[in-house]
Amino acid sequence: MKFNMEERSLYLCTSDRDDLGQFVTACIKGGVDIVQLREKRLEARQLLERAVIVRDICRDHGVPFVMNDRPDLALACEADGVHLGQDDVSVKIARSLLGSDAIVGLSTHHPDEFTNGLGEEVDYLSVGPIVETPTKPGREPTGIGYVSQARDLADHWPGRETPLPFFVTGGVTPEAIPAIVRAGAKRFVVVRYLTQSDDPLHAAQRLKEAIARANA
Query: Mean of the per-residue pLDDT values for the chain?
Result: 96
If DSSP codes are grouped into helix, strand and coil, which group holds residue 204?
helix
Whole-number Cα distances in Å, 71 to 3, 15, 20, 105, 199: 17, 17, 21, 11, 32
On whether the CB atoms of residues 167 and 186 are closer than 8 A, the answer is no
Total-model pTM: 0.96
Task: Say if residues 180 and 172 touch (Cβ distance below 8 Å).
Answer: yes
Inform me whether the pLDDT recorded for 67 exceeds 90. yes
Mean pLDDT value across residues 41-57: 97
Contact 77, 53 (CB under 8 A): no
For residues 161-182, average pLDDT: 97
Mean pLDDT of 166-194: 98
Which residue, among 100, 96, 56, 110, has the nearest Cα to 78 in the 3D structure?
56
State yes or no: pLDDT of 1 exceeds 80: no
Identify the band that residue 132 occupies on the pLDDT scale cut at 50, 70 and 90.
Answer: confident
The second-level CATH assignment, the architecture, of 5-215 is: Alpha-Beta Barrel (3.20)
- Of 114, 112, 115, 96, nearest to 104 by C-alpha is 96
